[in-house]
Structure 1
Amino acid sequence: MATGFVKKDKQRDSWYYEATLGVDENGKRIRKKKRFETKKEAQQALADLLSAANKGDYVEPSLVLYKDYLTDWLNSKKISVRESTWKSYSDWVRLHTIPALGDLEISKITPQRVEKFMLELSRNNYAGSTIQKIYTIIKDSLNKAERWQMVSKNVVDLVDRPKAVKEEMQVWDNEQSLTFLKQAKTDRLYVAFLLALTTGMRQGEILGLRWKDVDLEKGILYVKQTLSHDGQKFSPLPKTAAGRRSITIPSEVIHDLKKHKSMVTDEKRACGQSYTDNNLVVCTTLGTPQSPRNLNRTYQRLLKRVDVPKIRFHDLRHTHATLLLVQGVNPKVVSERLGHATIKITLDTYTHVLPSLQKDVAEEFGKSFFKSTVNE
């Protein structure tokens, strides 16, 4: 049975406890000693320690450095998350978490150190969503450390999750969208921007789209795979995921896709055996995957030539969704086109559109409801 006592150190004007927790595998007694500023703190800490030891819940604090532990944690994550997600985790750990906390022994990480780290990120103007993700990584990693009995408890449970202020979404209206497409019309990558604005597909989905997944007769695109952010790997979308979907396209887009397919066919014929046929809708002149970086570079170049608000490529997807909602399209349909897991995600993302929709609905309802009264 674990035993211990609390005593005052008159020379240091502090209190400490000493505890005997049993014996190790070599028969040597396991003793612990820790100092505190007050008698009450020492008594409480000793009571917690003895209770855990007598229940068999005591965990010897690990001397492993957090940066070494995070390397193992990241390796274990590879089998449970998508490659793009793992890459993001790895970047956040390498660029932020390890520089701030990596040299600490995992058992020496305190709530105060974690909270200070969160505040430093905020002062350096990192987005609230980014800070939340870093917070989640630390919490998840220490949850596993607790399960592995490397620490007695997860100290992040004592740190409030940082709040994220939702940034105002930047989108184009109908006229601005058409103005940009007119400028991009003669560019070889025009069809990528056209698809972004008329289907709401993500960049990786556009760059992963194959001709065999395009039915030009019926006017339907089938989203089945995505290209990684580094442009090196295609990943099939799970059959059960909302992301694997079909999207109908208007006749104008069908017309432009047919012209683009003819151009790609001519390029393939001109290259001969040097052409790598990946059956991609958007690709290089050699048939290889189009680099997301090059696509973004082209997008930025075109933006400079036209008088429209400067928005991100990803905001073309938001523009598509916003235009649909303003036109009165059912949010459920919008959600399905975007590949959202639930309609709630769609409604939460595009709350800026809802007030104007509510006004339009109220006016239309009023006209219909009071029609008979007006005619009397």
Structure 2
Amino acid sequence: MKGSVYKRPNGWEYKHDIGPDPLTGKRRTTSRGGFKTKTEATRAMRESIARFEEGRHMAPSRRTVEEFIKEWLAAVRPSVAKGTWVKYRNYLTLYVVPVIGTTTLQELTARRLDLLYGHLLDGGRLHRRGQQGSGLAPATVAVVHQTLRRALGDAVKWGYIRRNPAEDAHRPRVGRRAPTVWTSDQLRVFIDHIRDDRLYAMYLLLITTGVRRGTLAGLRRADVDLDLGTISPSTTRVVIDGQADDGEQKTLSGYRPLSLDPLTLEALRAYIATWEVDRKTFGHTNERLFCWPDGTAIHPDTITDWFQGYARTAGLPVIRLHDVRHSYASAALKAGVHPKVVSERLGHASVAFTLSFYSHVIPGMDKDAADEIASVILGTPEPPTAPAVPESPDEMEEGPQAESA
């Protein structure tokens, strides 16, 4: 970096480059004055240049948390999924900015974040429904923490703060609970109940593959290979601020081909035949399979409402549509399907996540595994022989008499 010192009326001053502006590329400089001698100014300049070159310089700034959040949201928008960005925006602008938005970014501490989390847990809920309390759920506050941690991590990279205070803050504890699932019998009851529905194939596909709601809503005709008996989802539908929009699969494995069982394949084949007739009748060009007869897209929330309505009329526990995915996974694991296969069919990032998330299924599987392994090592044990029952005295006396008679 280039720099120089020069005489001012009130003493010596230095000035040196600090690197170009990251957005415009224009030259930037910094300066400081008030030194009594040229030597002092030169020494201070060299130290300042060294700090900049080592990335240790932190210029004082009155930038507030709110100002930084606005800048950060604009910066990360091109690099994240649309739905993810909206969640970032909502969590930060609804729960963070109103409470600590006026705090200077460089004065933000882990202690202040801990107080923010406590406030949100006690009274951070903006809209209460039914018997809901005034505080946010720990899981929601934990997401606030994760979002802040990522944003403040970028503040460190950008040279706004020296250390990420969220790294030292206490993440709210979120208790783990097993997902609510239907048993295999309950899944069969639901299938029998909706057998005559126009979208029977859609529900059957949900139950026998465990695909996400967005995948169902976004499935296209080209994604289905009736000859191979597979679907290969290419798009998904996400809900952003209440509006449905095209999105991306959560993981790369979400685009994997999925084999279908004969019953689901036959139901899908019949549905596609009806779908093609509707296209000719109404003249629509919508490529999405699960739509209204005239081609109008079905909102993902509407699919959820229909599903839960059918659950009620079938006399089943009302669960989330996403819980059908959990029901599928639990049934598959209990049936002895290898966790790796289950993980791949669900589109999980790793089999470790699958085993961790469905650990509630493992205890019953563990007993079966113990018996199976033992039979391989020890062989199948012979059934125990029933002990001989001794004859009673009366029977012993009657025997010879009967023979003599």
User: What TM-score bracket applies, with the shorter chain setting the length?
Assistant: 0.7 to 0.9
Q: 1:264 aligns with which of 252, 265, 275?
A: 275
Higher mean C-alpha displacement, 203-212 vs 323-332 = 203-212
Residues 224 and 245, structure 1, Cα contact 8 Å, conserved in 2: no
Q: 1:351 to 1:158 in 2, by over 3 A?
A: same
User: Deviation string for 1:62-82 (max 9, x for gaps)?
Assistant: 212212211111121122222
Residues 339 and 355, structure 2, Cα contact 8 Å, conserved in 1: yes
User: Deviation string for 1:140-169 (max 9, x for gaps)?
Assistant: 212222222222332223213333211221
Q: Which amino acid aligns with 2:86?
A: K
Q: Which amino acid aligns with 1:184?
A: I
The equivalent residue for 1:205 is 215
Q: What is the aligned length?
A: 331
Residues 308 and 319, structure 2, Cα contact 8 Å, conserved in 1: no
| Separation in structure 2 between the aligned mates of residue 121 and residue 193 of structure 1, nearest angstrom | 38
| Separation in structure 2 between the aligned mates of residue 155 and residue 89 of structure 1, nearest angstrom | 18
Q: 1:99 to 1:193 in 2, by over 3 A?
A: farther
SS of match in other structure, 1:78: helix
The equivalent residue for 1:325 is 333
The equivalent residue for 1:186 is 196
Q: Which amino acid aligns with 2:224?
A: V
| Separation in structure 1 between the aligned mates of residue 110 and residue 349 of structure 2, nearest angstrom | 34
Please show how residues 303-314 of structure 1 align to structure 2 within 5 Å.
303-314=311-322
| Separation in structure 2 between the aligned mates of residue 343 and residue 29 of structure 1, nearest angstrom | 64
User: Deviation string for 1:225-279 (max 9, x for gaps)?
Assistant: 21122464334559x921110111111111211221122223222213xx2x232
SS of match in other structure, 2:227: coil
Q: 1:179 to 1:26 in 2, by over 3 A?
A: same
Shift of 1:183: 2.2
> Normalising by the residue count of structure 2, what TM-score does the alignment of the two structures yield?
0.74
| Separation in structure 2 between the aligned mates of residue 184 and residue 303 of structure 1, nearest angstrom | 10
Check if 1:339 corresponds to 2:351. no
Q: 1:137 to 1:245 in 2, by over 3 A?
A: same
The equivalent residue for 1:75 is 74
The equivalent residue for 1:233 is 245
Residues 189 and 295, structure 1, Cα contact 8 Å, conserved in 2: no
Q: Which amino acid aligns with 1:102?
A: G
Gaps of 5+ in 2: 1-12, 16-29, 36-46, 124-134, 385-405
The equivalent residue for 1:11 is none
User: Deviation string for 1:279-309 (max 9, x for gaps)?
Assistant: 2221122223321121122122222212222
- Name which one, 1 or 2, has greater alpha-carbon Rg: 2
Shift of 1:26: 6.2
> Normalising by the residue count of structure 1, what TM-score does the alignment of the two structures yield?
0.80
What is the Cα-based RMSD across aligned positions, in Å? 2.7
Check if 1:247 corresponds to 2:247. no
SS of match in other structure, 2:265: helix
| Separation in structure 2 between the aligned mates of residue 29 and residue 283 of structure 1, nearest angstrom | 74
Please show how residues 18-29 of structure 1 align to structure 2 within 5 Å.
27-29=32-34
| Separation in structure 2 between the aligned mates of residue 236 and residue 108 of structure 1, nearest angstrom | 38
Shift of 1:356: 0.6
Residues 247 and 337, structure 1, Cα contact 8 Å, conserved in 2: yes
Runs of 4+ in 1 over 4 A off after TM superposition: 22-30, 51-56
| Separation in structure 2 between the aligned mates of residue 271 and residue 90 of structure 1, nearest angstrom | 40
Residues 61 and 151, structure 1, Cα contact 8 Å, conserved in 2: no
Shift of 1:171: 0.5
Shift of 1:27: 4.7
Q: Which amino acid aligns with 1:352?
A: H
Residues 271 and 286, structure 1, Cα contact 8 Å, conserved in 2: yes
Please show how residues 1-376 of structure 1 align to structure 2 within 5 Å.
27-29=32-34, 55=51, 57-123=56-122, 125-230=135-240, 232-235=244-247, 237=249, 241-272=252-283, 275=284, 277-371=285-379, 374=382
| Separation in structure 2 between the aligned mates of residue 158 and residue 53 of structure 1, nearest angstrom | 30
